[in-house]
Chain A
Amino acid sequence: MKIIIKNSSDQPLYQQIKDQIKAAILRNELAEGELLPSIRSLANDLQVSVLTTKRVYTELEAEGFITTKAGKGSYVATESQELLAESKRYMVESKLTEVWEMARELGINKDELYSMMDLLFEEDEQA
């Protein structure tokens, strides 16, 4: 799993870390049931506060991505397939919303946007 913290980012630290762990889970880089590093060791490696990593884990747990067993550590949640699919859709949707808003502001219409998308898919297929 790769986590890169941007000092220049406007996003709070915990958000950056949380998003990247979430992304790793969604990409299946972190497999179901896999043990996550302890909050202390993650904090040390990323050179952030243990309070920040604790917050990351607490929020990920609340969102159902990970489970924490007292005294043992945190694991990537197993029974989360449906949830994962849901959140994958949600992530794409939210990005698309941004794109849609931008397109509307810049006066790009529906057809133009669709054709852009088609072009991207075509490029991907060719590659």
Chain B
Amino acid sequence: MNNILELTDLSKELDHFRLNKVSFSLMEGCITGFIGVNGSGKTTTIKTILGLILKDGGSIKLFGKEMTEHERDLKNRIGVVLDEGYFYDDMTLKEMKNIISPAYKSWDEDVFVSYIKRFNLSLNQKISTLSKGMRMKYAITLALSHHADLLIMDEPTSGLDPLVRSELMDLLLEFMKEEGKTVFFSTHMTSDLDKIADMLILIDDGKILLSEEKDQLLDTHAIVKGDNKLLNEQTRKLFLVLRETAYGFEGVTSKKSSVHQQMSDVLIEKPTIEDIMLAYIGGSKDAI
């Protein structure tokens, strides 16, 4: 599978925050979840990819081409859903569409109309009157109506009820059915990713802590519980985080097979993505 997007050593100094040599790549045909707590740098990274925030250093390559040099061409192939939408709220859906659509070379009005119908949106409605879920659906409609190859979304599920969230996830899977499509979306709700993500990238404090296949991550990581007696200098090293009480220990490991070999009589459980995320964030904090 080809790399659709390649970030290399992306850096940016902002007033109270900085991106610290962010590097990762997105594979064609994959849904990649970009996770991290609020304020970890997800939006800054996405905005930098899109050229809304200017990078200080590093490179952004899309479809093999440098973003800064082929910005317009490349943006024709990207569908964008920004957090909060960034719409002119006083406009109607139709007016907003009429502004966005001429920007794209391959805008497809039929696709647009079919999504509008499917989501029961009315074109003469003002954007300000849309509910949060409707607003997101409208944003997706705008993002998917020009046959984009890469869909970039910033926190598309935040503030949505579970039903709309699962609708969105289904929509993404539908989008992925076509060959060569790629999705990149940020979220702080890891439950969104359990079902649909192929790859996970974890960012914290402007640094990438993890970039891996989701299933492999879940295969190699585990929650381990057991008697404190089992902990010694060597076995402690197997854990990203470890919580000890008088009754026993509980920890998250990234070396499940080593735990199997070195520690008998422990309870090994499958972790959630959230467990893993928190373990890494907690782990990096401990190191500081």
The answer on direct contact between A and B (beta carbons under 8 Å) is yes
A115 to B219 CA separation, bound complex (whole angstroms): 40
B260 & A10 in contact (Cβ 8 Å cutoff): yes
Q: How far is the CB of B226 from chain A (nearest CB, A)?
A: 16
Nearest CB of B to A47, in Å:
5
Within 229-273 of B, Cβ neighbours of A (below 8 Å) are at: 256, 260, 268, 270
The digit string for B111-129, where 1 denotes a CB below 8 A from any CB of A, is 0000000000000000000
Q: A7-B270, A51-B199 are in contact. Are A12 and B219 (CB under 8 A)?
A: yes
Which of B1, B27, B197, B214 has most A Cβ within 10 Å?
B214
User: What distance in Å separates the Cβ of B213 from its nearest Cβ neighbour in chain A?
Assistant: 5
Report yes or no: B270 in contact with A51, Cβ–Cβ below 8 A: no
Count of residues in B whose CB is under 8 Å from the partner chain: 23
Q: Is the CB of A49 within 8 A of B270?
A: no
**Cβ of B198 and Cβ of A49 under 8 Å apart?**
yes
Please report the C-alpha to C-alpha distance between residue A80 and residue B158 in the assembled complex, in whole angstroms: 51
A84-121: which residues lie under 8 A (CB-CB) from chain B?
A: none
Pairwise interchain contact B270-A50, C-beta atoms closer than 8 A? no
B218/A13 in contact, CB under 8 A: yes
Q: In this assembly, does B177 line the interface, its C-beta being within 8 Å of a C-beta of chain A?
A: yes
Report if A51-B176 is in contact (Cβ < 8 Å); known contacts: A7-B270, A13-B215, A14-B215.
Answer: no
- B177:A50 contact, CB within 8 angstroms: no
Q: Which residues on A sit within 8 Å (CB–CB) of B30?
A: 49-51
On whether the beta carbons of B219 and A51 are closer than 8 Å, the reply is no
Q: State A114–B254 Cα separation when bound (angstroms).
A: 43
Give the shortest distance, in Å, between B221 (CB) and chain A (any CB): 12
Given A7-B270, A40-B29, is A49 in contact with B199 using a C-beta cutoff of 8 Å? yes
* Nearest residue, chain A, Cβ from B178: A40
- By a CB distance below 8 angstroms, the chain B residues around A54 are 1
Given contacts A10-B260, A40-B29, A40-B176, contact A48 B270 (CB under 8 A): no
Q: Is B219 a contact of A8 with CB atoms below 8 Å?
A: no
Q: A7-B270, A8-B270 are in contact. Are A51 and B215 (CB under 8 A)?
A: yes
Interchain residue pairs with CB less than 8 A apart (15): A8-B270, A10-B260, A10-B268, A12-B215, A13-B215, A13-B218, A40-B29, A40-B176, A41-B177, A44-B173, A47-B195, A48-B215, A49-B213, A50-B29, A51-B215
